[in-house]
Amino acid sequence: MRTERVRNLQSEFGATIIFVAAVILPVLFFLFSLTFDIAHYFTQRRNAQMIIDEAALYAHRYLPYTTAAASAAEGYLSRYGALAEHVAMEITPDTVALQYSDEVNLTFASYFGAGIDVPMHAYTRTQGTPYDVFLLMDTASYLSPQIPYGTAWGSDPAAQFFDTVYPIQHDADDDGVPELIDPVIATQQCFNPIFSSLKRAAIRTYEYLSSFQLNSVGVAVYPASGNFFDLVRPVAASPTSGEVSDVAFPQYAGGYIRPDYCAAAANYEVNFPAYRVPTSSTGMEGLWTPASGAPSIVEPVTYLYNTDYAPYLSIQELLWSQVARGNTNYAPNTPRVLEGIRAQIVGAQAREERKGLVNRAVKSAVLLAGDLPWYESERFILPNGSISANVTNALRVQLANLRSDAVNYDMHLVLYYVVFRHAGNQSYFSEGTAALEALFDEYNESEENGGKFSLHVLYGDSLDVLTRDLTSLIALDKRGSVLAR
């Protein structure tokens, strides 16, 4: 009896061992293998996600130059060998999107005769902070030699238009017989080493800002008679290429030369390419281009602006056609310009296509100035080297208003005042820019702005350098990019 019980126990124990060996251990081994494979899978996926995140953020620094951004992403990913072969890129002037797709083999599963390849995906997308920006270009009389009897700046030739097509005349002695104005002086109301440099800086700045398709860029020229400025286009989304232009051609007929004539001079010029409209920067996508079939920008006989050209008019052409405004009714008035900026910046419409950043646009104004601020025909720094209290007080009023707008409307507002030294503004230029910088610093260091209002003065002898500095400052704000997975 006892022997029989022992035999039964031994038999049950043996069966248990066989069950454990045949069933439990394989199951445990399978679960261990599966756990190891899953851990390996998610480790690889996490590493891939981290790599493409870093690559996207690195490439984002090169926007809006999409080709450069793509090369940067490829260069970064190449550090990780074969991983780069499994990454697809979609890059626009505003965003960098990277998609990683591969298959991972479950190593231990192969021991059971089941070679399993599991799909692995990782996605990342960056988007920079959008801008609502208002760009203003100075066109005051200090940007050209006096007409009709000034001295030419530099040795550039007369434009063909003013030399042979449409010479400008003036009856200096009121004898009824007009005399010819030097065609070089006439040309330099439109194009001269100083004014042309300012126009190119405005065009390059506009192209940089507007190439980001989520930016809203407005443009104006100043001074204007009885107004803050002449509005070229409001702060709004740009039309799509091929659509009708929304650029206005402001008229100025207060002097010998009109903007129409500058447009004609650029259009007719053959011998001196520097007078033609600058070509757009290479590597930038997203810039508006007109439909085909445009007529001439000016009428063939009067050489006045052809209104039929309006649907094709670009900002580049408009800025390049501006004339230095020498009429006394067009004296620069910087505080009035600042007052007008408020309506344009605060009133900019939100854009739903910005999605999560719809209410986070940086509000900015850029003044590309030919001199220090003016107010009521008085310069910020007086002929005796002292600072004008009249101009300073008028500036303080408008700067305080801009700061209040930034705080009350809970927006990040930045003002850039860009001015360069040239033959027409050298009097106490260094002292004036230092004083203007000190005035701006009072607002930058004030606790009242709550970090929402900042002012920058950029000054120097080279507009090319100043333009690069300006775009670098703007890029620093835009590089506060949002990463989406």
Task: Kindly report the CATH number assigned to the domain that includes residue 244.
Answer: 3.40.50.410
Residue 219's domain spans which residues?
131-476
Q: Is the pLDDT of residue 67 over 60?
A: yes
Judge if 204 and 81 occupy the same domain.
no
pTM of the complete model? 0.86
Same domain, 123 and 147: no
Q: 224 and 339 share a domain?
A: yes
Same domain for 208 and 317, yes or no, is yes
The answer to whether residues 356 and 262 belong to one domain is yes
Task: Please tell me the distance from the alpha carbon of residue 380 to that of residue 391, in angstroms, as a whole number.
Answer: 6
- DSSP string of 17-37? HHHIIIIIHHHHHHHHHHHHH
Same domain, 384 and 274: yes
Residue 6 pLDDT grade (very low, low, confident, very high; cuts 50, 70, 90) = very low
| CB atoms closer than 10 angstroms to residue 298 | 24
- Who's near 108: CB < 8 A, 6+ residues apart? 32, 33, 34, 36, 37
Coil, strand or helix: which one is 374? strand
pLDDT digits (tens, 9 = 90+) for 201-243: 999 999 999 998 889 999 999 998 777 899 999 999 999 889 9
Q: Does the pLDDT value for residue 19 go beyond 90? A: no
For 112-130, what is the mean pLDDT? Answer: 78
Evaluate whether residue 483 is within a structural domain. no
Question: How many whole angstroms separate alpha carbon 70 and alpha carbon 64?
Answer: 11
Number of domains in the chain: 2
Q: Are residues 318 and 433 in the same domain?
A: yes
User: Mean per-residue pLDDT for 174-199?
Assistant: 92
Confidence (pLDDT) at 233: 95
**Average pLDDT for the chain:** 86
166 and 48 in one domain? no
> What share of the chain in percent tops pLDDT 90?
55
- 382 backbone dihedrals φ, ψ, rounded to 5°: -80, 165
Look at 79-88, 188-197, 383-392 and tell me which has the smallest mean pLDDT: 79-88
439 band by pLDDT with thresholds 50, 70 and 90: very high
pLDDT category at 370 given cuts 50, 70, 90 is very high
Whether residue 348 is contained in a domain is answered as yes
